[in-house]
C-alpha cells in the first residue's frame, strides 16, 4: 500500500490565500537532490517558511502555532502550477497534510497528489472565500472532507459544497490503491497493444 | 466527423477506456533524467517489477550538472550521487544513457529531437513539465510525476484523463525583432498563467507555419506556462526535413511508411475545439515579464500595469511586484540589470545562439553584467563552433559554458544571487527560481543580447535598426 486510505477527514486548516502558488515555492529545486523520499517535509515551502538565516518567518501560516497539526491546507486559485516535480506532492503528504482545497489546481500537481494519497478538493471561488473567512475569524474552525459522499463542509455553520472526483480515483483513494496495481493486472492487454505500435 | 490532430494521436494510443476514469494511455517514448527518476526506480524494485520496454526509455543527465569543468568529478556529493544513480539505474535495466561528457548529452528536450527520438504522432512523456516541447513535431508530449515515471517503466502506460482541446491561431507576419519566444510570451500574457489549465493546445496559422522547428519547439515548450498540459503543431515538410537522417529516425522503407502516416496528422476542416483564440502577428512586440509568473508579461516598451487594471487578486499582484521591487507604472526599458542567461530547453538551441550573436557581434558586454551562455547540448556547441559563433561570443567579452539546464532552475552552482536582476531566456520567473531571492525577467535571446551589451533592459529593435 503506497499511502494510507482516505475516507472522512475532519480537521482545522492552514490558510494560504496567495494565488498561483507554484511547485518551486512548495519545494525549491535545490532540495531535489535526494535519491530517496526523505526530508521533503523539512523543506516544504522552505523559502516562505524560513528566512535565509534559517529562522522561521512568524507570519507565515504554516509556522503559526494556532494551526499546528492541521491536516488540510486551503490554498489560493491555481495551486501547484509550474514544475511537474512530484516532490511537491510528497512534501504536502510528508508534512502531515492529506487534503488541499482550492478553487483551481494545476493539472500535473493534481495528478501527483492523487497518486500519492493527497486529496485535491476543487471548490467554487465563493466557497473558497467562505472557508478563508471562517478560518480568519476562528483559526480553530474545522472543515470536514467526506470522500465517500464527495462533500466538503464547514463544520461550525454546516455550509457545504460537493466536489468532483472520478469513480476510479475515488476507489483508489478510499482503498489506498495506486495505478500500478491496476496496470499490472492488465499487462497482457498492454503487451498486445504495444505490438501494434509502428515505432 | 471531422477530427483534430490531437484526437488522432490521442485516440490511437488508448489501450483501454475506464468508465468514469482515466484512459490507459500507451507511451511510445519516455525520457528520464537524474532528478525525477531515482524514486521511480526504487518503487519499481521494491515491487519486484522490471522495465518492460527498455528501448522505449532514454536517459540523459541535465538538471543537476555543472556547466564548467564537466571533465572533472562533480564536486557536490549530493549531485554526484544523483548522477551516479541515473547511470546505475540505466545500466541495470538496459536503458541507453547519455551522461556527462557523452557526445549526445544535453538538455533532454534538446537532445530528444536532435537525435530523432521525437517523432510525429508519437506519445512522449518525461518527469519534466517542459516535455511539451516535443509537440512541435506533432507528437503528444507532456510532463508527468515520478509515480507515473514508475508506471511507464513497469508497464509503458499511464492513467490519464483526456484533456479538453484548445486551438490558438496566430496569423500575419511577425515584425522586426519579434521571435517565437515573444509569440509564446504574448499568448501566455493573454491567457494568464492558468488560462489553459485542463486543455491541450494546437497552434495553427501563418506564424507557426513560417516558424523554424527550433521556433516551434520554443512555443510548444512554453505551453505549460499557461497551464496547458501540452501544445502541438501539425507536422509539415519542415518537420520531415529536420528529422530525416537523424540517428534514431526510421530509415529506408520504414521512413516512407512513417511519412504516409505522418501526412494524415492534421486537423480536418470543421473539426471542433472546446476553445479557440485568434491573435494577430502585427500586435506582438518583443516581450518582457515584470512579475513572478510567466503570464505577467507585456510588450517591452510598455509600463507595468496597475493592480486595478489587471484581472484577479490585487494582494497576489502586489506581493509579486513587491518581490520584484518594482512599482505599478514603472517602465521596464532602462532598468539596470545584473545577469543575463542564454540557454535552457526554451532557448538553448542553435537558432537562439545565432540570434544572440546577431546583436552582440562587434559590440561588448556591459561591465555591470554577468552573462551565462549555456548551450542546450554538445551538438549545439559543435554547431556554434562550426558557424564561427564562438569567436563572435568571445570577441564580445562573453564566455560559452558547457551544456545543461543551469540557471533555469539553479539546481547546480549557477545561481543568481539574492536581489540581483536577471534577463533570462528560460521559462519561469517564479520567486527564487534562479536562486533564492533572485529576480527574473523572461525574454527572447534578442532582448537578452541587447540588454547584455547595454547593461539595462533594452529593446533589441534599437540595435537591429542601427545594424540595418
User: In the predicted model, what is the mean pLDDT of chain A?
Assistant: 97
- Name the residue among B335, B316, B352 with its Cα closest to residue B440: B335
Binning pLDDT at 50, 70 and 90, where does residue B1 land? confident
Domains and CATH numbers, chain A: 8-195 (3.20.19.10)
Q: Contact at 8 Å (CB) between B90 and B102?
A: no
Domain that holds residue B298: 287-467
Q: What is the pLDDT of residue B34?
A: 97
- Return the CATH number at B349: 3.30.499.10
Q: What is the pLDDT of residue B313?
A: 87
Q: Contact at 8 Å (CB) between B232 and B5?
A: yes
Q: Which of the 8 DSSP states describes residue A159?
A: -
Per-residue pLDDT tens over the stretch A18-68:
999 999 999 999 999 999 999 999 999 999 999 999 999 999 999 999 999
Does B151 reach chain A within 8 Å, measured CB to CB? Answer: yes
Q: What is the pLDDT of residue A10?
A: 98
Report whether pLDDT(B50) > 70.
Answer: yes
Task: For an interface test with B, give the residue of A179, A185, A195 to mutate (most B CBs within 10 A).
Answer: A179
Q: Kindly report the nearest CA distance between residue B176 and chain A, in angstroms.
A: 31
- Does B255 share its domain with B364? no
Residues 255-294 on B with a CB inside 8 Å of A are 257-258, 261, 293
- Does B267 share its domain with B330? no
Task: For an interface test with B, give the residue of A33, A51, A116, A193 to mutate (most B CBs within 10 A).
Answer: A33
Total residue count of chain B as it appears in this document: 468
Q: Please compute the mean of the pLDDT values over residues B91-119 and round it to a whole number.
A: 98
Percentage of chain B lying above the pLDDT 70 cut = 100
Picking from A36, A86, A106, the nearest residue to B227 by CB comes out as A106
- Name the residue among B171, B163, B179 with its Cα closest to residue B209: B171
Does A25 reach chain B within 8 Å, measured CB to CB? Answer: yes
Residue B56 lies in a domain: yes
Continuous H helices in B253-412: 253-262, 314-324, 344-347, 350-360, 378-386, 389-395
In chain B, the residue whose alpha carbon lies closest to the alpha carbon of A18 is: B316
Q: Please compute the mean of the pLDDT values over residues B215-244 and round it to a whole number.
A: 98
Q: Helices B445-454 and B350-360 meet at what angle, rounded to 10?
A: 30
User: In the predicted model, what is the mean pLDDT of chain B?
Assistant: 97
Residue B282 lies in a domain: no
Torsion of CA B48, B52, B58, B62, to 10 degrees: -20
Per-residue pLDDT tens over the stretch B255-283:
999 999 999 999 999 999 999 999 999 99
- Does B208 share its domain with B303? no
Number of domains in chain B: 2
Query: The cell 527560481 sits on which residue?
Result: B433
CA torsion sign for B209, B212, B218, B221 is: positive
Per-residue pLDDT tens over the stretch B298-336:
999 999 999 998 877 899 999 999 999 999 999 999 999
- Give the pairing of strands A160-162 and B421-424: unpaired
pTM of the model: 0.98
Q: Contact at 8 Å (CB) between A17 and B315?
A: yes
Q: Contact at 8 Å (CB) between B355 and B348?
A: no
In angstroms, the CA B8 to CA B202 distance is 12
Binning pLDDT at 50, 70 and 90, where does residue A1 land? very low
Non-local CB neighbours of B325 within 8 Å, separated by 6+ positions: B419, B439
Query: The cell 549555456 sits on which residue?
Result: B374
Q: Please compute the mean of the pLDDT values over residues A129-148 and round it to a whole number.
A: 98
In chain B, the residue whose alpha carbon lies closest to the alpha carbon of A172 is: B21
Binning pLDDT at 50, 70 and 90, where does residue B393 land? very high
Q: Which of B210, B242, B275 is the last residue of a domain?
A: B275
Q: What is the pLDDT of residue B294?
A: 98
- Does B242 share its domain with B333? no
Residue B281 lies in a domain: no
- Give the pairing of strands B96-98 and B140-143: unpaired
Query: Which residues from A are below 8 Å from B229, CB to CB?
Result: 107-108
- Give the pairing of strands B199-204 and B421-424: unpaired
- Does B301 share its domain with B437? yes
Per-residue pLDDT tens over the stretch B158-172:
999 999 999 999 999
Residue B73 lies in a domain: yes
Q: Contact at 8 Å (CB) between B208 and B171?
A: no
**Three-class SS state of B240:** helix
Per-residue pLDDT tens over the stretch A162-171:
999 999 999 9
In angstroms, the CA B123 to CA B117 distance is 11
Per-residue pLDDT tens over the stretch B329-347:
999 999 999 999 999 999 9
In angstroms, the CA A80 to CA A76 distance is 10
- Does B385 share its domain with B463? yes
Residue B326 lies in a domain: yes
Continuous H helices in B107-205: 108-114, 146-155, 180-191
Contact assignment for A194 to B433 by CB distance below 8 Å: no
Q: Kindly report the nearest CA distance between residue A167 and chain B, in angstroms.
A: 6
Torsion of CA B149, B150, B153, B159, to 10 degrees: -70
- Does B142 share its domain with B41? yes
Q: What is the pLDDT of residue B312?
A: 77
Amino acid at each position: 500500500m503506497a499511502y494510507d486510505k482516505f475516507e472522512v477527514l475532519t480537521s482545522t486548516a492552514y490558510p494560504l490565500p496567495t494565488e498561483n502558488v507554484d511547485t518551486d515555492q512548495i519545494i525549491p529545486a535545490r532540495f531535489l537532490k535526494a535519491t530517496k523520499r526523505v526530508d521533503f517535509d523539512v523543506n516544504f515551502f522552505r523559502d516562505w517558511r524560513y528566512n535565509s538565516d534559517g529562522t522561521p518567518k512568524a507570519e507565515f501560516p504554516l509556522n503559526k502555532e494556532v494551526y499546528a497539526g492541521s491536516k488540510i491546507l486551503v490554498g489560493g486559485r491555481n495551486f501547484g502550477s509550474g514544475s511537474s516535480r512530484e516532490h511537491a506532492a510528497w512534501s504536502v503528504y510528508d508534512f502531515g497534510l492529506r487534503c488541499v482545497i482550492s478553487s483551481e489546481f494545476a493539472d500535473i500537481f493534481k495528478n501527483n497528489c492523487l497518486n500519492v494519497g493527497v486529496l485535491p478538493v476543487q471548490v467554487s471561488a465563493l466557497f473558497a472565500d467562505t472557508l478563508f473567512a471562517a478560518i480568519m475569524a476562528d483559526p480553530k474552525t474545522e472543515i470536514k472532507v467526506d470522500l465517500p459522499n464527495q462533500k466538503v463542509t464547514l463544520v461550525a455553520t454546516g455550509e457545504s459544497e460537493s466536489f468532483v472526483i472520478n469513480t476510479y480515483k475515488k476507489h483508489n483513494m478510499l482503498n489506498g490503491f495506486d495505478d500500478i496495481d491496476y496496470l499490472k493486472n492488465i499487462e497482457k492487454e498492454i503487451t498486445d497493444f504495444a505490438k501494434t505500435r509502428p515505432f | 466527423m471531422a477530427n483534430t490532430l490531437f484526437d488522432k494521436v490521442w485516440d490511437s494510443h488508448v489501450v483501454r477506456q475506464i468508465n468514469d476514469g482515466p484512459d490507459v494511455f500507451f507511451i511510445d517514448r519516455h525520457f528520464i533524467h537524474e532528478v525525477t527518476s531515482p524514486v521511480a526506480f526504487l518503487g519499481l524494485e521494491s515491487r519486484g517489477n522490471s522495465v518492460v520496454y527498455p528501448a522505449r526509455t532514454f536517459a540523459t543527465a541535465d538538471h543537476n550538472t555543472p556547466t564548467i569543468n564537466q571533465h572533472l568529478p562533480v564536486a557536490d556529493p549530493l549531485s554526484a550521487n544523483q548522477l551516479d544513480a541515473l547511470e546505475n539505474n540505466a545500466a541495470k535495466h538496459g536503458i541507453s544513457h547519455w551522461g556527462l561528457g557523452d557526445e549526445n548529452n544535453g538538455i533532454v528536450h534538446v537532445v530528444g529531437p536532435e537525435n530523432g527520438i521525437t517523432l510525429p504522432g508519437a506519445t512522449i512523456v518525461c518527469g519534466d513539465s517542459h516535455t511539451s516541447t516535443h509537440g512541435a513535431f506533432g507528437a503528444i508530449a507532456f510532463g508527468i510525476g515520478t509515480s507515473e515515471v514508475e508506471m511507464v517503466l513497469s508497464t509503458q502506460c499511464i492513467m490519464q484523463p483526456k484533456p479538453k482541446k484548445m486551438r490558438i491561431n496566430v496569423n500575419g507576419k511577425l515584425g522586426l525583432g519579434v521571435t517565437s519566444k515573444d509569440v509564446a510570451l504574448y499568448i501566455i500574457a493573454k491567457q494568464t498563467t492558468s488560462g489553459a489549465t485542463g486543455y491541450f493546445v494546437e497552434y495553427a496559422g501563418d506564424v507557426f507555419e513560417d516558424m523554424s522547428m527550433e521556433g516551434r519547439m520554443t512555443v510548444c515548450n512554453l505551453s505549460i506556462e499557461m497551464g496547458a498540459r501540452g501544445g502541438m503543431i501539425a507536422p509539415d515538410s519542415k518537420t520531415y526535413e529536420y528529422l530525416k537522417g537523424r540517428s534514431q529516425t526510421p530509415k529506408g522503407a520504414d521512413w516512407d511508411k512513417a511519412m504516409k502516416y505522418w501526412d494524415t496528422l492534421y486537423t480536418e476542416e470543421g473539426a471542433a475545439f472546446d476553445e479557440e483564440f485568434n491573435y494577430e502577428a502585427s500586435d506582438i512586440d518583443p516581450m518582457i515579464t515584470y512579475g513572478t509568473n510567466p503570464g505577467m508579461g507585456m510588450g517591452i516598451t510598455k509600463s507595468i500595469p496597475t493592480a486595478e487594471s489587471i484581472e484577479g487578486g490585487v494582494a497576489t499582484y502586489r506581493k509579486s511586484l513587491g518581490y520584484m521591487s518594482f512599482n505599478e507604472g514603472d517602465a521596464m526599458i532602462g532598468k539596470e540589470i545584473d545577469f543575463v542567461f542564454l540557454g535552457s530547453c526554451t532557448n538553448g538551441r542553435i537558432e537562439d545562439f545565432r540570434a544572440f550573436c546577431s546583436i552582440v557581434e562587434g559590440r561588448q558586454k556591459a561591465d555591470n553584467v554577468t552573462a551565462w551562455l549555456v548551450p542546450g547540448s554538445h551538438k549545439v556547441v559543435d554547431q556554434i563552433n562550426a558557424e564561427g559563433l564562438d569567436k563572435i561570443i568571445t570577441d564580445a567579452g562573453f564566455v560559452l559554458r558547457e551544456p545543461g539546464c543551469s540557471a533555469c532552475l539553479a539546481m547546480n552552482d549557477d545561481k543568481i544571487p539574492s536581489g540581483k536582476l536577471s534577463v533570462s531566456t528560460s521559462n519561469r520567473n517564479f520567486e527564487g527560481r534562479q536562486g533564492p531571492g533572485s529576480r527574473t525577467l523572461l525574454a527572447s535571446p534578442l532582448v537578452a543580447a541587447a540588454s547584455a551589451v547595454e547593461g539595462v533592459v533594452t529593446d533589441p529593435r534599437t540595435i537591429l535598426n542601427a545594424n540595418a
